[in-house]
Structure 1
Amino acid sequence: MSQSKRRQENEWKIRKQTQQPHGKIKSLGELSDEADARQEK
């Protein structure tokens, strides 16, 4: 029939924890480096 409820919940939890819809989140240092590079142009 279908998968066990525990297995379904575990797979759902893993999918939620590993989501990165807009790519990896940048650190504050990386963001400030990008902002500095844009201002120098």
Structure 2
Amino acid sequence: MSCTTEGTDEKEVIFYFEVSTLFVVNNLEQTQNASTVIYQ
């Protein structure tokens, strides 16, 4: 994305970590909702 690597690596790593964490949480919530719908 950005050509400069000074001072952006940590922020980008944290950003991707937060995004991936949100993605995993959303997937877990969706699977839980789907399983509860199936079993009800």
Normalized per residue, the structure richer in helix is 2
Highest Rg: 1 or 2? 1
TM tier, shorter chain? 0.3 to 0.5
TM-score normalised by L of structure 2: 0.46
TM-score with structure 1 setting the length: 0.46
